[in-house]
C-alpha cells in the first residue's frame, strides 16, 4: 500500500445554488519517498487535490488516506494535530508571517509540540541550515529575496520532520535561477531526507525534476 | 518564542493602532472610574455624618429657619449633651461669582467643641497679648473667637484661593445682601477627607447683627448626644415638643441629614452611572472594530497557521488574549490613573464636592469592566478566526 491513497474522490464547490465539479472520481497512489509532479491547466483540480491530501479541505465523496489513516474521519482538532505532524506545506507566495524573523517563522509549527525553547530553536536553526539560510536567522521576510523567502518557507515545512511535503507551485513566483535552487533543494530533501513530495506546477521544466508526472484535466488523471 | 510572545508580536504589528486603541480604553476607564468616583464621594460624604449627633431643622424645609429660642428647651431634653446651631450664608465671590465655596455662620463657642474630633486647626493667627478662650475651644482659635468678623477656612480652599492668614476676604451676600468682609484667622484640616476642606465658618452673631437685624433665627440645630443609642428617643421628643408650634421641627441623625443633601441630586447619580456605561460601550465598539480590522487583515495568516496545524481553539485563544491585553492593560491603567491622579490632586469639582475619592471597589469594577470589554470585543474576531476555512483564507492571497 502507498503512503498516500486517494480513492474515488469527488469534489465539488458550490457557487450560489450551482455545483461546480472539480474532481470527478479520482483515484491515486503515491509511495513513500516518491517525488510526484502534478500538472494540468488552470482549474483542472491540482491545488484542490493537494489540499485534500493535506487535510485542509474535505472531499465531497471518496476517501483520502495517508499512512493508512483515513483523514476524512478525523475530527477538526485531530486533523489539525495530524497536519502538524505529517504535512509540510509550501505555498507559491511563501506565506511567511511578516512580523516574525526567519527563525521565528520556522519555529512556528514547533509551538504546537511539547518541546523546550532551546531545543525548538536548535531545530529551527538546523532546518534553516539545511536550506542554506543559517546566516539569515534574524532577518524579516521583507529583508529577504523571493528565493530566500521560499527557502525559509521550506525550512518551516520540514522543521517538524513531516513525512509528506506538499508544494503548490513553489517556483511560480520566482525567477529562473531562484526556481532552480528551490527545485534542487526539493530534490535534495527527497533524496537525502527521504521526504515524499507532491508538487503542483505549470512548468514542465520543474516537473522534470520529479520521479513521476501526473496530468490532471477536468478533475481526472489523464495519463 | 512561545504562543504568548506571538500575541505580543501581533500587538506590535501596528504600533500606532494598538497604542491609540489602548489609549481610548485608558480614557474610557479613566472616565468611568472618575464618574463612579463622584458617586463614591457622595456616598463617603454621607458616612461623615455622625450617628451621635442629631440635626433639627424646620419640618417644612431646610430653607425655612427656626427660632433661636428653641435652643434652651433642646438643651433641657434628657440625652442631649450640648446644642449648637448654624446658618447657610450662600455668599458669592464678588471677583469670580462662578468660584463657589460654602459659607456657614455658626455659634463657634458650641459648634467647634462638637466637631473637635473631625477637624484640626493647623494654622491660626495669634495676638501678642494672650486672649482667653471659652472652655472646650482650641486655644489656637483665640483670635478667631475674639473678633466679630473673623472666619476659619478649610485648608484646601485656603490653598486654592492662595489666601493668607489675616487677609480680609470679601463675600457678596445673596440671602443676606451686601458685601461682607471676613478676616481669616484660622485654617482647619479635615481628619477625614470626605468631611471636606472647602468651607468657611464665621460667627453666627455677626450674621445675626448685620444680616438679620438682630433677629434670633437659625438654619438648623446640631444636638450632641451623650449616648447615640438614645437617638430615636431624643428625635421623637424634639419633634413632639414643637409639633403644634409655628415652626415645627424635623429631627434626624446627622448622617441621615447628609444623605438628604445627596438625595437632592435626584437622578444625577443615575445619570452619571449611565454616562459612564455609555462611554465604556462606545469604546467597546471602537475596541471591537479595531480587533475585527486586525484579524481581517490577517485572514491569510490564520489560514497558514491552520495549515501548519494550529487548532481552531488555539487561534480563538490567541485572538481573545490579544483583545484582552489591550482592554485589560488599558483598563487597569485608566482605573489606576483615575484613582491616583484624582485623589492625588484632591479634585473637588470646584468646591461642589469634598476632595474626590475613588474606592478600590470602583477600581476593581473598572478593571472587571475592562476584562468584560476585552472578552466582548475579542469574541467575534476570535470566532471568525477559529471558524475560518483554510481554503477560503488562503484564497484571499493566492
Give the model confidence (pLDDT) of A167-223 as tens digits.
Answer: 999 998 889 899 999 999 999 999 999 999 999 999 999 999 999 999 999 888 886
Which is more confidently placed, B267 or A200? A200
> According to the model, what pLDDT value does residue B133 have?
82
pLDDT of residue B396: 58
| pLDDT attached to residue B294 | 83
Digit-coded pLDDT (tens) for A156-170: 999 999 989 999 999
CA–CA min distance A81, chain B (Å):
6
Mean pLDDT across the stretch B299-316?
Answer: 93
Tell me if B255 is assigned to some domain.
Answer: no
> CATH number of the domain that A11 lies in?
3.40.50.300
> How many domains, in total, are found in chain A?
1
In a domain, B390, yes or no: yes
Looking at residue B398, its pLDDT comes to 42
Distance between CA A154 and CA A167 in Å, rounded? Answer: 9
Q: How far apart are CA A47 and CA A41, in angstroms?
A: 11
Residue A127: C-alpha distances to residues A33, A47, A84 (Å): 19, 26, 16
Q: Cα distance from A97 to chain B (closest Cα, Å)?
A: 7
The confidence score (pLDDT) of residue A144 equals 95
HSE of A206 in the Cβ direction (CA atoms, 13 Å)?
Answer: 29
Share of chain B above pLDDT 70, in %: 97
Range of the domain at A112: 4-221
Contact B313 A56 (CB under 8 A): no
CA–CA distance, B23 with B94 (Å, rounded to integer) = 41
Q: Are residues B298 and B210 in the same domain?
A: no
pLDDT tens sequence across B358-398: 999 999 999 998 888 888 888 999 999 999 999 888 875 44
Is B38 in the same domain as B166?
no
Greater model confidence, B351 or A36: A36
What does the buried/exposed string (b/e) look like for B212-237 if buried means 16 or more CB atoms within 10 Å of the residue's CB?
beeeebbbbbbbbbeeeebbeebbeb
The average pLDDT across B235-262 equals 88
| pLDDT of the residue at B38 | 86
Does B261 map to a domain? no
Identify the weakest region by mean pLDDT among A84-98, A202-216, B343-357: B343-357
Same domain membership, residue B328 and residue B224: no
Q: Mean pLDDT over all residues of chain B?
A: 88
Are residues B127 and B228 located together in one domain of the fold? yes
- Could you tell me which of A182, A214, A219, A178 has the C-alpha nearest to residue A38? A214
Q: Is the pLDDT of residue B204 over 90?
A: yes
Residues of B in contact with A120 (CB under 8 A): 1
A83, A104, A117: residue with CB nearest B307:
A83
Is A83 in Cβ contact with B309 (below 8 Å)? yes
Please tell me whether residues B228 and B310 are part of one structural domain. no
pLDDT digits 0-9 by tens, A109-168:
999 988 898 999 999 999 999 999 999 999 999 999 999 999 999 999 999 999 899 999
pLDDT of residue A147: 92
* pLDDT of the residue at A121: 94
Instruction: For residue A69, give the H/E element and its range.
Output: strand A69-70
Q: How many helices (H) and strands (E) does chain A have?
A: 7, 10
Of B158, B155, B120, the closest CA to residue B140 belongs to B120
φ/ψ of residue A155, rounded to 5: -60, -40
Give SS3 for A124.
helix
In a domain, B112, yes or no: yes
How high is the pLDDT of residue A1? 59
DSSP state of B338: I
In the predicted model, is pLDDT for residue A36 greater than 70?
Answer: yes
Question: Distance between CA B394 and CA B348 in Å, rounded?
Answer: 57
Contacts of B313 in chain A (CB under 8 A): 77
Please answer whether residues B284 and B377 qualify as being in contact, where contact means their C-beta atoms are separated by less than 8 angstroms.
Answer: yes
Q: B12 vs A99: CB contact, 8 Å cut-off?
A: yes
Q: Are residues B30 and B131 in the same domain?
A: no
Structural Rg of chain A based on CA atoms? 17
Assigned domain for B52 exists: no
Question: What chain A residue is nearest to B10 in terms of C-alpha separation?
Answer: A99
Three-state SS for A75? Answer: coil
The predicted model gives B10-17 an average pLDDT of 90
Q: Which structural domain range is residue B146 located in?
A: 60-247
Q: B257 lies in a domain?
A: no
The reply to whether B253 falls in a domain is no
Q: Is A84 on the interface with B (CB under 8 A)?
A: yes
Instruction: For residue B351, name the pLDDT band (cuts at 50, 70, 90).
Output: low
- Taking CB atoms and an 8 Å cutoff, what residues of chain A touch B306? 56, 80
Using the Cβ of A116 and the Cβ atoms of chain B, whether some distance falls under 8 Å is answered with no
ipTM of the assembly? 0.93
Count of domains forming chain B:
2
> What confidence tens digit (pLDDT) does each residue in B103-152 have?
999 999 999 999 988 899 999 988 777 778 888 888 899 999 999 999 99
Model confidence at A17, in pLDDT bands (50, 70, 90)?
A: confident
Predicted local confidence at residue A167, as pLDDT:
95
Confidence of residue B304 (pLDDT cuts 50, 70, 90): very high
A95 contacts chain B (CB < 8 A): yes
Q: What three-state secondary structure class fits B169?
A: strand
A97: which chain B residues are within 8 Å (Cβ-Cβ)? 301, 304
Looking at B188, B215, B247, which one is the last position of a domain? B247
Q: How far does B379 lie from chain A, in Å, by closest CA?
A: 20
With the CA atoms of B379, B384, B386 and B389 taken in that order, what torsion angle do they form, in degrees rounded to the nearest 10? 170
Chain B residue nearest residue A81, CA to CA: B309
Amino acid at each position: 500500500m502507498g503512503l498516500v491513497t486517494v480513492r474515488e474522490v469527488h469534489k465539488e464547490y458550490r457557487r450560489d445554488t450551482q455545483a461546480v465539479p472539480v474532481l470527478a472520481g479520482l483515484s491515486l497512489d503515491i509511495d513513500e519517498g516518491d517525488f510526484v509532479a502534478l500538472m494540468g491547466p488552470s482549474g483542472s483540480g491540482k491545488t484542490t487535490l493537494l489540499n485534500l491530501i493535506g487535510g485542509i479541505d474535505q472531499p465531497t465523496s471518496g476517501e483520502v488516506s495517508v499512512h493508512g489513516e483515513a483523514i476524512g474521519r478525523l475530527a477538526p482538532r485531530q486533523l489539525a494535530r495530524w497536519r502538524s505532524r505529517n504535512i509540510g506545506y509550501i505555498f507559491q507566495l511563501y506565506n511567511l508571517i511578516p512580523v516574525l524573523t526567519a527563525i521565528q517563522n520556522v519555529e512556528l509549527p514547533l509551538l504546537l509540540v511539547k518541546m523546550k525553547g532551546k531545543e525548538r530553536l536548535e531545530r529551527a536553526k538546523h532546518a534553516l541550515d539545511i536550506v542554506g539560510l543559517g546566516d539569515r536567522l534574524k532577518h524579516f521576510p521583507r529583508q529577504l529575496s523571493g528565493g530566500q523567502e521560499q527557502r525559509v518557507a521550506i525550512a518551516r515545512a520540514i522543521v517538524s520532520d513531516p513525512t509528506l511535503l506538499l508544494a503548490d507551485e513553489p517556483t511560480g513566483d520566482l525567477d529562473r535561477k531562484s526556481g532552480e535552487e528551490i527545485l534542487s533543494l526539493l530534490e535534495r530533501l527527497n533524496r537525502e531526507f527521504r521526504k515524499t513530495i507532491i508538487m503542483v506546477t505549470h512548468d514542465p521544466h520543474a516537473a522534470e525534476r520529479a520521479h513521476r508526472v501526473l496530468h490532471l484535466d477536468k478533475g481526472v488523471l489523464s495519463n | 518564542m512561545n504562543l504568548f510572545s506571538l500575541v505580543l508580536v501581533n500587538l506590535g504589528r501596528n504600533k500606532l493602532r494598538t497604542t491609540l486603541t489602548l489609549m481610548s480604553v485608558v480614557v474610557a476607564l479613566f472616565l468611568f472610574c472618575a464618574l463612579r468616583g463622584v458617586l463614591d464621594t457622595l456616598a463617603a460624604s454621607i458616612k461623615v455624618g455622625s450617628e451621635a449627633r442629631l440635626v433639627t431643622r424646620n419640618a417644612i424645609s431646610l430653607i425655612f429657619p427656626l427660632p433661636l429660642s428653641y435652643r434652651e428647651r433642646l438643651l433641657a431634653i434628657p440625652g442631649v449633651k450640648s446644642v449648637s446651631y448654624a446658618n447657610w450664608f450662600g455668599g458669592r465671590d464678588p471677583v469670580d461669582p462662578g468660584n463657589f465655596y460654602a459659607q456657614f455662620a455658626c455659634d463657634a463657642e458650641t459648634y467647634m467643641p462638637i466637631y473637635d474630633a473631625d477637624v484640626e486647626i493647623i494654622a491660626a493667627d495669634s495676638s501678642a497679648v494672650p486672649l482667653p478662650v471659652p472652655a472646650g475651644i482650641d486655644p489656637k482659635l483665640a483670635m478667631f473667637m475674639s473678633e466679630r468678623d473673623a472666619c476659619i477656612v478649610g485648608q484646601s480652599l485656603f490653598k486654592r484661593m492662595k489666601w493668607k492668614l489675616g487677609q480680609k476676604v470679601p463675600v457678596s451676600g445673596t440671602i443676606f445682601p451686601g458685601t461682607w468682609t471676613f478676616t481669616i484667622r484660622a485654617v482647619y484640616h479635615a481628619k477625614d477627607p470626605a468631611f471636606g476642606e472647602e468651607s468657611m465658618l464665621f460667627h453666627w452673631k455677626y450674621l445675626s447683627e448685620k444680616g438679620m437685624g438682630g433677629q434670633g433665627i437659625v438654619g438648623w440645630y446640631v444636638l450632641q448626644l451623650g449616648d447615640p443609642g438614645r437617638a430615636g428617643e431624643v428625635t421623637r421628643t424634639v419633634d413632639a415638643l414643637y409639633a403644634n408650634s409655628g415652626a415645627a421641627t424635623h429631627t434626624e441623625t446627622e448622617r441621615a441629614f447628609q444623605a438628604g443633601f445627596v438625595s437632592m441630586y435626584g437622578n444625577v447619580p443615575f445619570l452619571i452611572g449611565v454616562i459612564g456605561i455609555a462611554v465604556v460601550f462606545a469604546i467597546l465598539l471602537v475596541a471591537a472594530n479595531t480587533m475585527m480590522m486586525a484579524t481581517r487583515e490577517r485572514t491569510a495568516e490564520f489560514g497558514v497557521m491552520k495549515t501548519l496545524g494550529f487548532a481552531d481553539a488555539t487561534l480563538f485563544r490567541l485572538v481573545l488574549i490579544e483583545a484582552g491585553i489591550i482592554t485589560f492593560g488599558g483598563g487597569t491603567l485608566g482605573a489606576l490613573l483615575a484613582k491616583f491622579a484624582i485623589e492625588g490632586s484632591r479634585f473637588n469639582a470646584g468646591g461642589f464636592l469634598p476632595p474626590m475619592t475613588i474606592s478600590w471597589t470602583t477600581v476593581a469594577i473598572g478593571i472587571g469592566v475592562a476584562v468584560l470589554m476585552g472578552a466582548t470585543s475579542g469574541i467575534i474576531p476570535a470566532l471568525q478566526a477559529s471558524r475560518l476555512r483554510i481554503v477560503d483564507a488562503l484564497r484571499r492571497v493566492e
